[in-house]
Chains A and B, each alone.
Chain A
Amino acid sequence: MQARGELFGDRIVILDYREGRRIYEEGFYGKPLGVSKPKSTEEIKTPLELSLIEGLYLLRKGKIAVRYKGNDVDERELEDYAVKRIPRFRDLYRVYEDLKRRGFVVRSGIKFGADFAVYTLGPGVEHAPFVVSVVNADEEMNATELMSYGRVSHSTRKKLILAIINSSSNEIKYIMFKWVKM
């Protein structure tokens, strides 16, 4: 059964908490409103907020339906909407989808200074073993940007993986990046 989400700004909100709980259970998607880290799904008694990345993924998987101002939104419309609102949306989504395809639980990595925190089991069950930052090989990257990634992985003691999207070969390369003493 599809859960119903409402498109509010850059969030998709599943207002019915029972549906939200089910979606959360399926793969640690989203965050219950007002609860930063639910210890169990029984704790979820508020609407579930999904990011646009999670929302588009779940819409494509047929897990949710999305409504905007009373009308249903299809995949294409949601993607166009997200591209206008979220910088680098297509690159972020591409890597998110690839990580999901590989079976990982993917959450925001912003608190670690990265795009995604990636779990093998899930948040609350383990600490995120690594964080992923998405870069596009076609775009220029400053050394300071790369150095900031290095600092993050060093200070948070997490493995930092650069997901480099190569548009010409249509590939994503995962590169472990870490400070090293020569």
Chain B
Amino acid sequence: MIETDLSHYLINLTSVKEGHYDDIVSKIIDGRIDEITDRLTELATNEENGWNKLVVYLDLRMRGKRLANSNIPNVVSVVDRSDKPTTFVMIASETRPINLVRLIKLLDLSKSLGVNVVLAIVDKYGDVTYYSLEEINLLK
């Protein structure tokens, strides 16, 4: 069952660094894959959308973004210099359906925090495309 109630993630939004992914990504960038083979296998098999999350994490790091753990499953946080989240990046796979209820909850949460929401869609070749999502009040 996919969790859709995100309200309890309001706590500790910024306090936890994404050490797990950060370390793996740093080793990938440094070409030290041999040291993390087991961790890659574990991540890809045990975490929800784990491999795609790694792909997005790596892509954002390569683009110079500062990242932290949002504590929200399947979401990477882009943070500013003071580790305050500026964008929640929700990860989706080309080959799997997107949970819209969860997306709506994330938009509600982000609105209350003043944080942007981006959907990162990872295709079956590992390419990432980003889309911004913003709730609007449709008025004439």
Contacts and interface: CB of A to CB of B under 8 A. Distances in A.
Q: Do A and B share a complex?
A: yes
B113 interface: no
Interface stretch (B16-24, B37-45, B129-137): B129-137
In this complex, the interface size class of chain A, counting residues with CB under 8 Å from chain B, is 20 to 34
Given A141-B97, A143-B121, A120 B140 contact: yes
A120 B131 CA distance: 26
A178 B136 contact: no
Contacts of A120: 140
A166 B104 contact: yes
A181 B107 CA distance: 19
Contacts of B93: 143
Contact of A182 (B65, B100, B139): B65
Given A143-B93, A146-B119, A146-B121, A175 B63 contact: no
21 contacts: A139-B100, A141-B98, A141-B100, A143-B95, A143-B121, A147-B94, A150-B129, A166-B101, A166-B104, A168-B101, A175-B107, A175-B133, A175-B134, A177-B133, A179-B129, A179-B130, A180-B118, A180-B130, A180-B131, A182-B59, A182-B130
Given A104-B138, A140-B97, 5 more contacts: A140-B98, A147-B131, A161-B136, A182-B59, A182-B60
